[in-house]
Structure 1
């Protein structure tokens, strides 16, 4: 029987869960999630300080997050925002959009039949059969990335040299964005997902107040929209075989996509297809740099590589949460949830649940099964999961071919972000093969 009492988070814990800096510290955050899974797996979080936000339920157990992910009728991506936001950010989005809490309308924000109609527009593009047609092109991009890594001698920041530019170049090539425009796309992506971290948002302003972060993100969205409006016009006049042409000329229910939905589609593919894979790639490299024996094993036995890729995705968990809204009175983990309640599915907590992952903080390339939640589950499972795995496999095949050994050359650093996160710096020392 579901309990009606609200188990409420301690103010300090509630603050830590939404604090971008907590996700940069990592191990202390995992300690918090370990305690909550045992003592308060579905917990009510309320505003405690000047960081005012709507109250929400924090869900930390794997089983509960998996069930919610698959039940898209009960747990909606609308009408409330699918990414945790402070109240002033939500109000800003509503002002910018004429009432919607979603600054960007995209696959991530649609429910039910609408979501499936939009998903099917590009779904075939990202299936393994079609991706095989671009595999050699991706391999060439991987070799160019390793060339850059080796050009600087035997030390480099792997994030700046490889894991940030490589997946960006891949997804931009697939979309049809010219290479000379990629630096602009990188900057805008980092402003969208790195707005809470001064090293990533490229604002030059430390300790940005929430309203400045919101305006930074809104500016990035506007810049994205201006860029892709021009690209749409070009692809409608002269369509090609790229994803941009598919979106520009797409029809839903007999009508072309409206501007807001079309721009949202571009933005979600451009942004989500880059930062997430970058984080997982850097996570895999960190694990291998810390374990020379594992590097040597996979160098001689490439059959181990898929396990390393999958474990890196779980271990890193680049998309750290999504929010859902209860469509009706329901329950999660024995806790009564009211219609309209806002819930945070915390993937970091779920992917470190010892009930499903033995010794979850250990990077275990042989982990099997490894049914993690880093790509989500159900109807909203990541559209680009096959591309992400392919990109990582090809890159590490190239790295293992061309690098003999690798080790840390300094302290890695994680980004400050509650939404998409991972390493922002990974100093390495290596020897070429």
Structure 2
């Protein structure tokens, strides 16, 4: 082990460093204890690591913090300082809503939120169950398969295809495109985000054009709501509609598979907990899923830009400076959770930040929970004994998605 790995110091912290990308957890512990509001001069950015401080910052309103420089700026973007000057983004062509403040963000969100509301999500239960069962029918004929991609990834990509009125035959294409965002540069942890997002927009635009031609009658609400939006005094272009849906397209495919695979591995590593969950899957899996969301959520941070001077957790943040909120650290904050570094399936969880909070909380929160419950329950119902081949597991370097890109499961006994 290197000195950084055994005894990380605050001065070593850089979200894009090899040591942090390899394992950010020791750094998070030092940040919470010694510098919960850390200023990084190189990036002119404040980093917040405690649960309550992250919550306080994200719930400040009045357009104080907006993701003007994207929610996931690269080191190059962060190194370009605003020096006190920051302006609103132009609205033509319309940027992604995540980079806009009120009222634009809410208008765009409300235009496509209908399929993510609780009742609409519940109506997808049978469809998602069928996808999971069909996938297991195919995979369980093998002794081993990748739990992240082959199982959960295909199911979540299939759901996104359904919501976008794309043929099921495009499932593998969607999964491959989203996965390409995780194939990071091994040195910087970065990737060619603009090109890949452009490919996502291009793929979706084909089906958006078909919905426009068909009349956008509301039968595909994820698309039709944006096509019918009259707020800007003009129809949105196909590319603008697709741009608004990129968060759904990527987040809806990438996150749940990593939580599913990692969560099942944690249960496998704690046989007594697995036995307790198995005792009543319908009752216990929804409880265990909440701990999986806390403990296994791969998203480590998001960034915002200050549009006015403000003080948070004793830090005086100036207009134009960026802030970085460490969700991965907040999830392990001992001030919020007892024994936070232990996976405890029936832990009492009053609050969780894995889906964000405040104005920009995750639009797919209800769908993600449903998918996780179905994926975990279906697997445990059909597989009596399993283990993991960690020698073939893959966790790619990334400052943002610290999760298992590939996690091969070995099926030892079927139910």
TM-score, normalising length: structure 2:
0.87
Provide the C-alpha distance between the structure 2 equivalents of 1:357 and 1:326, rounded to a whole number of angstroms: 29
* Paired position in structure 2 for 1:222: 198
Provide the C-alpha distance between the structure 2 equivalents of 1:264 and 1:90, rounded to a whole number of angstroms: 26
- Counterpart selection for 2:36 from 37, 41, 58: 41
- Counterpart selection for 1:110 from 100, 122, 133: 100
Aligned residue for 2:145, secondary structure, equals: strand
Residues 275 and 420 in structure 1, CA contact (< 8 A), matched pair in contact too: no
Q: Encode CA deviations 1:126-152: one digit per residue, 9 max, x unaligned.
A: 011111222111110010222233021
Provide the C-alpha distance between the structure 2 equivalents of 1:250 and 1:329, rounded to a whole number of angstroms: 34
- Sort the Cα spacing of 1:39 and 1:337 in 2 relative to 1 into closer, same or farther, 3 A: same
Q: Does 1:184 align with 2:173?
A: yes
1:232-251 to structure 2, matched below 5 A, reads 232-238=208-214, 239=216, 241-242=219-220, 243-251=222-230
Structure 1 gap ranges (5+) = 1-8, 48-53, 92-98, 198-206
Provide the C-alpha distance between the structure 1 equivalents of 2:94 and 2:230, rounded to a whole number of angstroms: 19
* Paired position in structure 2 for 1:424: 405
* Paired position in structure 2 for 1:288: 267
- Sort the Cα spacing of 1:11 and 1:70 in 2 relative to 1 into closer, same or farther, 3 A: closer
Q: Does 1:128 align with 2:115?
A: no
Shift of 1:12: 5.3
- Counterpart selection for 2:351 from 371, 375, 378: 371
Structure 2 gap ranges (5+) = 1-7, 81-88
Q: Does 1:31 align with 2:47?
A: no
Provide the C-alpha distance between the structure 1 equivalents of 2:64 and 2:139, rounded to a whole number of angstroms: 44
Q: Does 1:138 align with 2:128?
A: yes
Provide the C-alpha distance between the structure 1 equivalents of 2:94 and 2:132, rounded to a whole number of angstroms: 31
* Paired position in structure 2 for 1:316: 296
- Sort the Cα spacing of 1:385 and 1:266 in 2 relative to 1 into closer, same or farther, 3 A: same
* Paired position in structure 2 for 1:325: 305
Q: Encode CA deviations 1:295-343: one digit per residue, 9 max, x unaligned.
A: 2221221211112111111112222111112222221211221122111
Provide the C-alpha distance between the structure 2 equivalents of 1:125 and 1:164, rounded to a whole number of angstroms: 20
Shift of 1:218: 2.2
- Counterpart selection for 1:18 from 16, 27, 30: 16
* Paired position in structure 2 for 1:380: 360
Q: Figure out how many residues of one structure are paired with residues of the other and give that number.
A: 392
Shift of 1:350: 0.9
Shift of 1:400: 2.1
- Sort the Cα spacing of 1:14 and 1:270 in 2 relative to 1 into closer, same or farther, 3 A: same
- Sort the Cα spacing of 1:183 and 1:227 in 2 relative to 1 into closer, same or farther, 3 A: same
Q: Does 1:196 align with 2:184?
A: yes
- Sort the Cα spacing of 1:20 and 1:112 in 2 relative to 1 into closer, same or farther, 3 A: farther
Normalized per residue, the structure richer in helix is: 1
Q: Does 1:86 align with 2:75?
A: yes
Q: Encode CA deviations 1:81-107: one digit per residue, 9 max, x unaligned.
A: 32131226998xxxxxxx88xx99323
Provide the C-alpha distance between the structure 1 equivalents of 2:272 and 2:329, rounded to a whole number of angstroms: 29
Please report the RMSD computed on the Cα atoms of aligned residues, expressed in angstroms: 2.5
Aligned residue for 1:405, secondary structure, equals: strand
Shift of 1:344: 0.4
Residues 66 and 306 in structure 2, CA contact (< 8 A), matched pair in contact too: no
1:146-161 to structure 2, matched below 5 A, reads 146-153=136-143, 155-161=144-150
Aligned residue for 1:222, secondary structure, equals: helix
* Paired position in structure 1 for 2:85: none
* Paired position in structure 1 for 2:330: 350
Q: Does 1:415 align with 2:413?
A: no
Shift of 1:257: 1.9
